Amino acid sequence: MRWFWIDRYEEFRRCRDATAIKAVTLAEEHLHDHFPGLPVMPNSLVLEGLAQTAGLLVIDAIDYARQVVLAKVTKSEFFFDAMPGDVLRYHVEILELNESGSMVKATSMVGDRLQAEAELVFGHLVESGLVPKLMSRKELMTWYDNLHVFEVAVDLDGSRVPYDRVPPEVN
């Protein structure tokens, strides 16, 4: 089972940056268990939402050639807790991108208030006997569909990114 910590993308500019949102609601079970009597979204899940927002941007930027995994959080700072009723706006920007890894600057906003900021490092791994396939093409396309990526995705020249952009499964 996979957990989504973002609701949808609002912007997705290939190889550059992306913006996604997450509505924090009382319907989420973790809000009742994390601090009983004080429903707050755990900061680790805010980081995961930032990482998911960035991870799909990064895997697209490297043309789906490798597995993308969060390798390190080099910096993170939280300025206030995310509470039910808040809408987190995650913005991620690729700072560095090469064959073996990438670095991303990430922020979380609630309205015009900075809720969190982080720098995330992703490893780009070649699938092998030691590195399993983490996500099939079908799963990846389901994520993109559910998160409305192709409704907002644009290429470097500003043109729309087509649904068939993801290469077929390699057997």
Q: Where is pLDDT greater, at 22 or 141?
A: 22
Instruction: Give residue-wise pLDDT tens across range 31-82.
Output: 877 777 889 999 999 999 999 999 999 999 998 889 999 999 999 999 999 9
* pLDDT of the residue at 163: 63
CB atoms inside a 10 Å sphere around CB 130 = 7
Question: Residue 30 above 50 pLDDT?
Answer: yes
Handedness of CA 52, 54, 58, 61 (dihedral sign): positive
Q: How confident is the model at residue 1 (pLDDT cuts 50, 70, 90)?
A: very low
Residue identified by tokens 């900021």 is: 117
Question: First vs last Cα of the chain: how many Å apart?
Answer: 23
Whole-number mean pLDDT of the chain? 89
* pLDDT of the residue at 140: 81
- Rg of the chain over Cα atoms, rounded to whole angstroms, equals 16
Residues 64-92 as b or e (16 or more Cβ within 10 Å = b): bebbbebeeeeebeeeebbeeebebbbbb
* pLDDT of the residue at 169: 57
The answer to whether 34 is a known catalytic residue is yes
Question: Residue 23 above 60 pLDDT?
Answer: yes
Q: What CA–CA distance (Å, rounded) separates 95 from 120?
A: 10
Name 13's bridge partners. 17, 154
DSSP string, 101-137: EEEEEEEEEETTEEEEEEEEEEEEE--SSSS---S-H
Domain ranges of the chain: 8-145
Q: List the CATH code of the domain at 8-145.
A: 3.10.129.10
Which position among 30, 34, 91, 124 bears the catalytic label?
A: 34
Cα atoms in the 13 Å half-sphere on the side-chain side of 1: 1
Instruction: Give residue-wise pLDDT tens across range 105-136.
Output: 999 999 999 999 999 999 999 888 777 778 77
Q: What percent of the chain has pLDDT over 90?
A: 61
Q: How confident is the model at residue 165 (pLDDT cuts 50, 70, 90)?
A: low
- pTM assigned to the model: 0.91
